[in-house]
Chains A and B, each alone.
Chain A
Amino acid sequence: GQQLNQSPQSMFIQEGEDVSMNCTSSSIFNTWLWYKQDPGEGPVLLIALYKAGELTSNGRLTAQFGITRKDSFLNISASIPSDVGIYFCAGRSRGAGSYQLTFGKGTKLSVIP
């Protein structure tokens, strides 16, 4: 089946630093999404990308849909303590009637005040 490789698996950063994480796939996706999961909660959608090359921002978050359709990255600028959590990428490939999302294993972010 399809797999998403998300990296890094975890990262520790100082408050105020910028963060970058990415997802790669051996398959083409036509939609990329980024979610954040806080401890004890469900994933919350941060950004959705629908077109190759698309660059979308949501506050301090910026995500891009790779030109090859096989990758995406998420940047967080000027990190703050509430950015702590697990960030998941998810992709959807075009398939007849299929609306399945494939999720990465997540990047666990820790912010040191």
Chain B
Amino acid sequence: DAGVIQSPRHEVTEMGQEVTLRCKPISGHDYLFWYRQTMMRGLELLIYFNNNVPIDDSGMPEDRFSAKMPNASFSTLKIQPSEPRDSAVYFCASSHTTVGMETQYFGPGTRLLVL
């Protein structure tokens, strides 16, 4: 299995621009999670989906952030407009109920820098 795939791996953009991060979960997994990692706050859950449906988005920092999962093999996290404080590493993770959905498999992350 290829594991969780994220793109792009690195993104540099200017304040105010729209940023779209992409994730392909492990095939067959029914849970998908978006996390943000910073030095100050560590790993924070932003939102998670079950069977393509958003279940808990309480971690989404504000309305500038949105996430979608149009099908079982693809999800996006969008920031519009982006701000310098959004600079972080964004991880996507997936899991499957049958093996314990706490056992989450992470992608390599997207390193976002907003200038």
Task: Please report whether the interface of chain B is mostly helix, strand, loop or mixed according to DSSP.
Answer: strand
Given contacts A42-B91, A43-B43, contact A99 B31 (CB under 8 A): yes
Cα A45 to Cα B48 with chains together (Å): 18
Q: Is the CB of B103 within 8 A of A48?
A: yes
Instruction: Pick from B31, B102, B106: contact of A44, CB below 8 A.
Output: B106
Chain B residues closer than 8 Å to A48, beta-carbon distance: 100, 102-103
Q: Is the CB of A106 within 8 A of B108?
A: no
* B interface residues, how many (CB within 8 angstroms): 22
Q: Is the CB of B42 within 8 A of A101?
A: no
Cα A41 to Cα B37 with chains together (Å): 12
- Encoded as 1 (CB less than 8 Å from any A CB) or 0, chain B from 98 to 110 comes to 0011111111110
Instruction: State the Cβ distance, B43 to closest chain A Cβ, in Å.
Output: 4
Q: Does B18 contact A (CB under 8 A)?
A: no
Instruction: Pick from A33, A42, A99: contact of B107, CB below 8 A.
Output: A42
- Encoded as 1 (CB less than 8 Å from any B CB) or 0, chain A from 7 to 39 comes to 000000000000000000000000101010000
Q: Is the CB of A101 within 8 A of B91?
A: no
Chain B residues closer than 8 Å to A45, beta-carbon distance: 103-105
9 of the cross-chain contacts (CB-CB < 8 Å) are: A41-B108, A42-B107, A43-B43, A44-B106, A45-B105, A88-B42, A99-B48, A101-B45, A101-B104
What is A's interface to B at a CB cutoff of 8 Å? 31, 33, 35, 40-45, 48, 50, 88, 92, 97-101, 103-106
What is B's interface to A at a CB cutoff of 8 Å? 4, 31, 42-45, 48, 55-56, 59, 91, 93, 100-109
